[in-house]
Amino acid sequence: MTGRLKTPLLGPFLAPQPGPKMLGPNERLDTRMRRYPHHQEVDVVVVGVGAAGGVLVQRLARFGLSVVGFDAGPFWDVERDWVSDEKGSHKLYWNTLRITGGPNPITLGANNSGKGVGGGTVHFAAFTPRFHPSDFMEHTLDGVGVDWPFRYETLKPYYAMIEREMPVAGPARYPWGDPHGYPYGPLESGEYANLLVRGCSRLGIRAVAGGPIAINSGAYGDRPHCIFRGFCLQGCKVAAKASTLYTHVPDGIANGAEIRDRCMVSRINLGKDGLVNGVTYLDPDLKEREQKAKVVLVCGYAIETPRLLLMSSCPGHENGLANSSGLVGRYLMVQSANVVMGRFPGLIRQYKAPPANACTEEFYETDHTRDFARGFSIQTVGPLPCTFAKEMLAAKGAWGWGMRKVMMDYNHWAAFGLLGEILPHEDNRIDLSDEKDEYSLPAPRIRFELHENDKKMIAWAVPRIEEIMRAAGAEETAQEPRYAHLIGGCRMGVDRQTSVTDQFGRTHDIPNLFCCDGSICPTQGAANPALTIQALAARTADYLIAQRDLVLQKKKAPLDEPPMRPDLSPPGTLTRGVPPRLNKRRR
Amino acid sequence: MAEHLPINPRTGEPLPPRPQPGYYPDFSTLDQQAFWDAATREVVLKRVTDIPPIRFFAHDPALATALFDRILPQDDRDPDHRIPILNYVDERLSEGVSDGYRYAEAPSDAECYHLGLRGVESIAQSLHGTSFIQLGSREQDEIILSLRDNSPPAGEEIWSRFPAVNFFELLVTDAVDAYYAHPYAWDEIGFGGPSYPRGYMRLENGLAEPWEADEQRYDWEPPPTSLSGSYQPLAGLIPEHARRRQGGTH
Ligand SMILES: Cc1cc2nc3c(=O)[nH]c(=O)nc-3n(C[C@H](O)[C@H](O)[C@H](O)COP(=O)(O)OP(=O)(O)OC[C@H]3O[C@@H](n4cnc5c(N)ncnc54)[C@H](O)[C@@H]3O)c2cc1C
Ligand code: SF4
């Protein structure tokens, strides 16, 4: 410290006074949360209050069902718990033991999954593109992967709805996939976004800046606009970046939902009738407790959802619940997410502004002049110093004086990320290891291997990104191989032999057990998944509500497309922003 | 010791240690602490003032110290402004802070350190007949390079349990996670640091905020005795061995 302390006009910023939780600087969680007695059977238990779980809790509670949402992590008090600091944000990630292996082991923890109310939306970068229509039928079109049990048009109105609930900022016209516009104007760009646009433009590649990202470009209710502090991946203290923690969960609580945080669900319980009757969980003191429910929705994401089904094996379900297909835990996917870094003569200061800003989807679709199927996107990323140093270790082998030297040039570097589709393969999977995690539960074991198409795509894509970086003016490039975005593990489908759930996430085997989160996606295209995951959740909520009479009696309901319930959106969200065009659903 | 100091490439003269190396002289993130939110201020100040004690490495801190002095040298910093890397690494290991995963068949991080330090010592003994800490910096760097290249000349029974290059990655990862989390390092590289609730307003062209500093470059080169100044990517296009503790990106 140099003794030159500068002070704001009104003195240093004080910690919030004792009182209700603060979800950002303005949003105070002051509704009393309803508590359901442990012996009372509730309508629905939601396991995992993340991207999908947050939306489900909100919708079902607003409709009037009794809902308890469990999350293994804390219910964050954003003002008190989160910090503008990389190292101090370690607690946001899923840090209990997982074993990663196979020929191309994926890194987990900070690079993959969150823990706590809001789940992955707490620390996601908030890129929120839609999947392309072709993603829903890639087997029909390209003979690879698998088709979804429905088409893009089925999800389209839900995309439009969630884009308003988050809300998503972006260009007035987004040219790729099903071209559409965004309800809020593009967000101001950091310098690296300018570089992506410049590099692409010089090569005749279309690019956009300012979205689609779920970050407020203007104040939205009690959520302020982005202040460009650049710590999106450490949780947005400003509450400018959408997380179900602020967008959906408070409305759920106001409507009578209970959130039991720091409660790890360890087993789904089955009654003598072969139906699910609730869950067993470890409370914050690791004491085992039970909660009865008519319906259980598992929303723990691509590793924890299949893991929970596998851990719930019991007589008659020796291989895990809902696993008659043997596919629980299989077809796990990530996306190839190599980061290409470029050094520029001028200053960039890549720590300013949200990492997510500009992108191109010009290479998204299958192109028969290339030697692989499907495609990829290119997006801006903005690594902070610790992350960037580790990227330099991988990309340049930097250490010692070399590390010190390249890091002194931190402000001269920009980074673009690949987001390439990895095709589903049965042998990429999670199962249970013999080791125990910190909860004394069997630690999940992940096996991952890149296949031919994936490798060819990476080999083709990385040089394209380097070209763009150089066209933007970089004098040197370096790249780090990595992966992003888990998906799959309990995939949905029409055929019970080849999938775990139906198109609404209901398990084929047990009519009152649903999975609804990233784990049910059969493929993930070359788009970031959170928007799609939340759209799926809103649709499953509509289904549960439409079929509540049968579902709550634990009976198998027909697979009819439910009527959309815009009245269940968080209040006011659908009427803000650019007026929506009527989104007619086509089947 | 002059031979440990970076040099001015034009004169060949060693550059004297300074309180703050890097191209942003006088820039101080800590000076801005009153503009940070209280939670962030507490975490960052605690890191600076409340240095964790050595526990994990307590039985032999000298070897680990010598190793980290080469993995991320700080000879260009005056002794009052060095960042206690070993203490932070020690804290992580003694508190068993986990990253949420382990590679199949790999020992735990604590075990890796126990094995790795023994392995490094056995290389030093077999090549030079003495301990790593007695060696000159060039010899020490040579040993580290043999880890990076996964071709350690001794200690086979150790490296058969986990690859030498993984120990190299673990060392560098831990060193940079400690070093670049420290405000002194932020000042060195011109990173603005915490910025809530104030935020940033000059987003384009790498412009400085009113409270940030402009870059003032100077030429320097690593000390002639060191081998860590050149670069060689760790993996080809396809990762053969994943890296520890990748932060998230997108
Ligand atoms: C660094 C990073 C950047 C990302 N950037 C983007 C991006 O820009 N755009 C994008 O679309 N996606 C992004 N993602 C991915 C995105 O965060 C996830 O795809 C998404 O959050 C998954 O949603 P989910 O509902 O399936 O699960 P999650 O949001 O992960 O929620 C699962 C929740 O379940 C809880 N849980 C799990 N098991 C149990 C149990 N047994 N008992 C109790 N609780 C349990 C967990 O604690 C967690 O809170 C990013 C991810 C990371 C790590
Ligand atoms: S850059 Fe914007 S969205 Fe990201 S954390 Fe800061 S204020 Fe939130």
Q: pLDDT digits over B207-219, tens only?
A: 999 999 999 999 9
The minimal CB distance from B102 to the residues A97, A191, A229 is found for: A97
Residue A274: left (phi > 0), alpha (psi -120 to 50), or beta? Answer: left
State yes or no: pLDDT of B243 exceeds 70. no
Instruction: For A469-533, give the DSSP string.
Output: HHHTT-SEEEEE--EEEEE-SS-B-S-TTT-SB-TTSBBSS-TTEEE-SGGG-S--TTS-SHHHH
As a whole number, mean pLDDT of residues A183-201 equals 95
Q: What is the CA radius of gyration of chain A?
A: 23
A127 in contact with ligand 1, CB cutoff 6 A: yes
Confidence of residue B1 (pLDDT cuts 50, 70, 90): low
What is the per-residue pLDDT for A33?
Answer: 95
What is the per-residue pLDDT for A27?
Answer: 86
> Cα angle at A201 between B204 and B201, to 5 degrees?
10
- Asked if residues A408 and A392 have their Cβ atoms less than 8 Å apart, the reply is no
- Please, which residues bridge with residue A314 across strands? A317
What is the per-residue pLDDT for A1?
Answer: 45
Which of A14-28, A238-252, A530-544, B25-39 shows the lowest per-residue confidence on average (mean pLDDT)?
A14-28
Confidence of residue A3 (pLDDT cuts 50, 70, 90): low
Residue A326 tokens read as 């043997």
State yes or no: pLDDT of B237 exceeds 60. no
Helix intervals (H) in A241-300? 244-247, 249-254
Find residues 89-108 of chain B whose CB sits inside 8 Å of chain A: 97-105
Q: Computed from CA positions of residues A7, A9, A11, A13, in that sequence, does the dihedral angle turn out positive or negative?
A: negative
Match 């270790």 to its residue by tokens: A393
Match 């995690």 to its residue by tokens: A437
Residue nearest to atom 47 of ligand 1 (CA): A115
A334 in contact with ligand 1, CB cutoff 6 A: no
- Asked if residues A204 and A392 have their Cβ atoms less than 8 Å apart, the reply is no
Confidence of residue A68 (pLDDT cuts 50, 70, 90): very high
What is the per-residue pLDDT for A70?
Answer: 98
As a whole number, mean pLDDT of residues A472-489 equals 96
Residue B243 to residue A393, Cβ atoms within 8 A:
yes
Match 């002049």 to its residue by tokens: A369
End-to-end CA distance of chain B: 44
Kindly list the residues from chain A whose CB atom is less than 8 angstroms away from the CB atom of residue B202. Answer: 352
Find residues 122-151 of chain B whose CB sits inside 8 Å of chain A: 141, 144, 148
Kindly list the residues from chain A whose CB atom is less than 8 angstroms away from the CB atom of residue B185. Answer: 385, 407
- Asked if residues B6 and B217 have their Cβ atoms less than 8 Å apart, the reply is no
As a whole number, mean pLDDT of residues B120-143 equals 97
As a whole number, mean pLDDT of residues A470-487 equals 96
* Spatial distance between the Cα atoms of A569 and A537, rounded to a whole number of angstroms: 12
Which of A104-118, A248-262, A350-364 shows the lowest per-residue confidence on average (mean pLDDT)?
A104-118
The distance of A37 to chain B (nearest Cα, Å) reads 33
Question: Chain B residue with minimal CA distance to A13?
Answer: B37
What is the per-residue pLDDT for B250?
Answer: 79
Match 């996430």 to its residue by tokens: A505
Kindly list the residues from chain B whose CB atom is less than 8 angstroms away from the CB atom of residue A4. Answer: 28, 31
A493-552: pLDDT as tens digits? 999 999 999 999 999 999 999 999 999 999 999 999 999 999 999 999 999 999 999 999
* Among A113, A60, A133, residue whose Cα is nearest residue A302: A113
Counting ligands in written order, the one closest to the CA of A84 is 2
A554 in contact with ligand 1, CB cutoff 6 A: no
What is the per-residue pLDDT for B240?
Answer: 52
What is the per-residue pLDDT for A343?
Answer: 98
Q: For chain A, say whether B52 makes contact (Cβ under 8 Å).
A: no
The distance of B149 to chain A (nearest Cα, Å) reads 10
> Cα angle at A544 between A541 and A548, to 5 degrees?
145
A362 in contact with ligand 1, CB cutoff 6 A: no
* Spatial distance between the Cα atoms of A216 and B140, rounded to a whole number of angstroms: 52
A371-403: pLDDT as tens digits? 999 999 999 999 999 999 999 999 999 999 999
State yes or no: pLDDT of A38 exceeds 60. yes
- Name the packing angle between helices A152-165 and A530-546 (round to 10°): 100
Counting ligands in written order, the one closest to the CA of A489 is 1
Q: Is the pTM of this model over 0.80?
A: yes
- Residue B197 preceded by cis peptide, ω within 30: yes
As a whole number, mean pLDDT of residues B103-132 equals 94
Q: Computed from CA positions of residues A90, A91, A92, A96, in that sequence, does the dihedral angle turn out positive or negative?
A: positive
**Any long-range contacts for A565-572 (C-beta under 8 Å, 24+ apart)?**
A565/A59, A565/A63, A565/A541, A566/A161, A568/A58, A568/A59, A568/A62, A568/A63, A568/A541, A568/A542, A569/A161, A569/A164, A569/A165, A570/A58, A570/A165, A570/A247, A570/A248, A570/A251, A571/A251, A572/A221
Confidence of residue B247 (pLDDT cuts 50, 70, 90): confident
State yes or no: pLDDT of B236 exceeds 70. no
Average pLDDT, chain B: 92
**CB-based contacts of A363: which residues, under 8 Å, 6+ apart?**
A375, A376, A377, A378, A461, A464, A526
The minimal CB distance from B100 to the residues A108, A125, A191 is found for: A108
Kindly list the residues from chain A whose CB atom is less than 8 angstroms away from the CB atom of residue B206. Answer: 191, 346-349, 411
User: What are the pocket residues of ligand 2 if the criterion is a CB atom closer than 6 Å to any ligand atom?
Assistant: A 215, 226-232, 236, 238, 240-241, 354
What is the per-residue pLDDT for A12?
Answer: 83
Nearest atom within ligand 1 for CA of residue A266 = 41
Confidence of residue A10 (pLDDT cuts 50, 70, 90): confident
What is the per-residue pLDDT for A24?
Answer: 87
- Asked if residues B228 and A401 have their Cβ atoms less than 8 Å apart, the reply is yes
As a whole number, mean pLDDT of residues A450-456 equals 97
* Spatial distance between the Cα atoms of A213 and A194, rounded to a whole number of angstroms: 16
Q: Computed from CA positions of residues B135, B141, B144, B150, in that sequence, does the dihedral angle turn out positive or negative?
A: negative
* Spatial distance between the Cα atoms of B195 and B197, rounded to a whole number of angstroms: 6
As a whole number, mean pLDDT of residues B136-158 equals 95
The distance of B13 to chain A (nearest Cα, Å) reads 17
Confidence of residue A582 (pLDDT cuts 50, 70, 90): very low
What is the per-residue pLDDT for B239?
Answer: 43
User: CATH 3.90.380.10: does it fit domain A46-565?
Assistant: no
Residue A447 tokens read as 């096996």
A482 in contact with ligand 1, CB cutoff 6 A: no
Residue A458 to residue B35, Cβ atoms within 8 A:
no
Residue A387 to residue B247, Cβ atoms within 8 A:
yes
State yes or no: pLDDT of B238 exceeds 60. no
Of A403 and B149, the one with more pLDDT: A403
Distance A378 CA to ligand 2 centre (A): 21
ipTM of predicted assembly, 2 dp: 0.97
* Spatial distance between the Cα atoms of A516 and A494, rounded to a whole number of angstroms: 16
Instruction: For A530-547, give the DSSP string.
Output: HHHHHHHHHHHHHHHHHT
Ligand 2: which of A76, A232, A380 to mutate, judged by most atoms within 8 Å of the beta carbon? A232
Find residues 176-215 of chain B whose CB sits inside 8 Å of chain A: 176-177, 179-181, 185-186, 188-207, 211, 215
Work out the percent of chain B whose per-residue pLDDT is above 70.
95
Residues comprising chain B, all counted: 250
Q: Which amino acid is at B166?
A: N
State yes or no: pLDDT of A578 exceeds 80. no
Match 């008190």 to its residue by tokens: A80
**CB-based contacts of A37: which residues, under 8 Å, 6+ apart?**
none
Question: Chain A residue with minimal CA distance to B107?
Answer: A99
The distance of A221 to chain B (nearest Cα, Å) reads 18
Match 């992506």 to its residue by tokens: A196
What is the per-residue pLDDT for A354?
Answer: 96
The minimal CB distance from B231 to the residues A80, A396, A438 is found for: A396
* Spatial distance between the Cα atoms of A206 and A31, rounded to a whole number of angstroms: 47
Residue A71 tokens read as 């999350």
Residue A50 tokens read as 């993340």
Residue nearest to atom 35 of ligand 1 (CA): A48
